[in-house]
Amino acid sequence: MQRIQNIVLATLSDNSDDYGIIEDGVVIIDGESIYWSGPAVEAPATPAATVIDGQGMCLTPALIDCHTHLVWAGSRADEFAQRLHGKSYAEIAEQGGGIASTVQATRAADFDELLRLASKRASALMQQGVGTIEVKSGYGLDLPNERKQLQVARALGEQLPINIKTTLLAAHALPPEYKNNADGYIELIINEILPTLAAEGLVDAVDAFCESIGFSLEQTERVFKAAKAYELPIKLHAEQITNQNGAALAARYHALSADHLEQLDENGVKAMAENGTVAVLLPGAFYFLRDDTVPPIKLLRQHGVPIALATDANPGSSPIHNLPLMLQMGATLFRLTPEECLRGVTVNAAKALGIEKEYGQIKAGMKAHLALWDIHNPAELTYQFGVNPLKTLWLNGVAHDREDTL
């Protein structure tokens, strides 16, 4: 048993819309779970516990990155430079660049190489207080390579002391062998890729890219129906470039989340609110792509849609492995409050993954996924950037000091 005391405790309770601050707090850990949390004056005696003096620092839930594409090979740095020299994305794609280059590199890489690359990225996130990462496929686009990506994601959770949730994103783009045959590729997904990988236990959720340059609303719904047949929760890349009414469709299927949402309208917001679908905003992609349309924050607030934030870590539109930076970007680019930002990478991010009964808050019975920060006000996590105040990260009750073990 461990007793963390002399801390500013930010519980991020689901019963409020703020930090849930307890100024002089105590958290008691028993095994992998939180046994008790609350004010020091009410804390039970624990004579056999190991006592950790928090020295007045701030304890929060470990952060949750609820939208990443962490498993890939290759680099798109040259394309980044080409765009800055004036080439369009279409021109780059015609020359074999864009997502096609990542698919080619990921298919060519073996399991060990992909695991090595993904482990570096996941470790970087852990260094910044992240305890749970969602990992999507979508750079394989056929059965063996989608399987390979998801197997690497599962292996990450075995190699590192971190919680990994996998998402099948086979409906991410058209593979070269299905050029101009989107319906044929959707058939492959629903008849072969999804059933096989679901049966192998590799899929925690199913996602799709519903967009003018992705898959149509009808094609997306076919994927959703197949996912529901296997009782798998769904997510959706929606309304990033154009409004395809994807978020409303996802909400009708009780999606865990709809993500991006720069072009979301009020009908989509209402549908999400009615069905409990979380809005996952991705300020890193917004920044990197130099977008100028902000998601409808006022409407999301007005209708009570939970807002989460994530890195969208990927080689093409968000080569970012820094979740705390997304808090700062969420505030400065989207005008979210510091409270909304921190809730967006804890309690609401947990909802976006369907794990809110175990992660994202500090209260008895939850997993002991905790982060101790060398700050006294949790607003510092949103206010400052370019520094890392993480002191200690607890994952399933095991303490990892950043300077020693992370």
Q: Identify the CATH number of the domain defined by range 2-62+361-401.
A: 2.30.40.10
Q: Which long-range contacts (CB under 8 A, 24 or more apart) does 354-359 make?
A: 354/205, 354/233, 354/256, 355/132, 355/163, 355/165, 356/14, 359/61, 359/62, 359/64, 359/131, 359/132, 359/163
Residue 369: its pLDDT value, please? Answer: 99
**How does DSSP classify residue 162?**
S
Q: For residue 176, give both structure tokens.
A: 């070269």
Q: DSSP letter string over 330-352?
A: HHHHH---HHHHHHHTTHHHHHH
What is the arithmetic mean of pLDDT over 42-52? 96
Q: Is the pLDDT of residue 94 over 90?
A: no
- Residue-wise pLDDT for 305-339, tens only, equals 999 999 999 999 999 999 999 999 999 999 999 99
Identify the DSSP state of 178: G
**Coil, strand or helix: which one is 114?**
helix
The CATH class that applies to domain 63-353 reads alpha beta
Q: Which pLDDT score, from 0 to 100, does residue 405 have?
A: 63
- Rg of the chain in Å (alpha carbons): 21
Domain extents in the chain: 2-62+361-401, 63-353
What is the mean predicted confidence (pLDDT) over 6-29? 94
Q: Which residues are bridge partners to 51 per DSSP?
A: 3
pLDDT at res. 98: 86
Q: Note the pLDDT tens digit of each residue in 225-284.
A: 999 999 999 999 999 999 999 999 999 999 999 999 999 999 999 999 999 999 999 999
pLDDT tops 70 at residue 214: yes
In the predicted model, what is the mean pLDDT of the chain?
97
Instruction: Tell me the two tokens of residue 241.
Output: 């470039």
Q: Which residues pair with 113 in a beta bridge?
A: none
Element (DSSP H or E) covering residue 207: strand 205-210
d(CA 6, CA 8): 7
Residues 6+ apart with CB under 8 A from 290: none
The residue to which tokens 């236990």 are assigned: 201
State how far the alpha carbon of 30 is from the alpha carbons of 4, 46, 125, 281, 396, in Å: 12, 11, 25, 34, 10
Q: What is the pLDDT of residue 90?
A: 67
- What are the pLDDT digits (tens) for 143-202? 999 999 999 999 999 999 999 999 999 999 999 999 999 999 999 999 999 999 999 999
- Whether the per-residue pLDDT at 88 is higher than 90: the answer is no
State which H helix or E strand residue 79 sits in: helix 77-84
Percent of the chain with pLDDT over 90: 94
- 399 phi/psi in degrees, rounded to 5: -80, 135
Q: Residue 406 has what pLDDT?
A: 63
Q: Which of 12, 67, 64, 62 is nearest to 283 (CA)?
A: 67
